[in-house]
């Protein structure tokens, strides 16, 4: 009788343990908004900088609109998976889906379409109208 009760408890609790908690957002979180580059020399848009705003991504992959952002807990902080709708490089009407992973790394973030392609980025200094006095 005890073994049946134990087995029933395991069956009831197991799905809860295996489920990851995901929170969906409508935009990229404020701490990750701004201009990011692999190094200080790459902070110009023509040199590969990535600009993240609440609802947009602009970078080497083109210009994209954020559809949604999923947040999942990670060992170094929250990991964000951004689902985007991007225009083709020529600026035509053709749209394609794209993914962007944002993972915190101490004073940097790692960005890439998959975990295997993440590249560390640093925040670029604010210039002009973006700078706060």
Q: Where are the domains of the chain?
A: 20-126
pLDDT digits (tens, 9 = 90+) for 31-73: 999 999 999 899 987 788 999 999 999 987 789 999 999 999 9
Enter the pTM of the model.
0.76
Section 82-90 average pLDDT: 83
pLDDT digits (tens, 9 = 90+) for 97-108: 999 999 998 889
pLDDT band of residue 4 (cuts 50, 70, 90) is low
- Mean pLDDT score of the chain: 83
Name 75's Cβ contacts closer than 8 Å, sequence gap at least 6: none
CA torsion sign for 34, 40, 43, 49 is negative
């Amino acid at each position: 009788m005890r073994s049946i009760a134990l087995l029933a408890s395991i069956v009831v609790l197991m799905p809860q343990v295996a489920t990851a908690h995901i929170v969906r957002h409508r935009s990229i979180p404020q701490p990750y908004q701004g201009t990011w580059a692999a190094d200080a020399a790459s902070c110009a848009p023509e040199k590969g900088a990535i600009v993240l705003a609440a609802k947009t991504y602009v970078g080497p992959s083109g210009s994209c609109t954020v559809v949604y952002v999923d947040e999942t807990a990670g060992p170094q902080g929250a990991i964000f998976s951004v689902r985007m709708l991007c225009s083709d490089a020529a600026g035509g009407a053709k749209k394609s889906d794209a993914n962007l992973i944002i993972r915190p790394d101490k004073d940097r973030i790692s960005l890439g379409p998959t975990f295997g392609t993440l590249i560390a980025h640093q925040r670029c200094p604010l210039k002009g109208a973006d700078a706060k006095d």
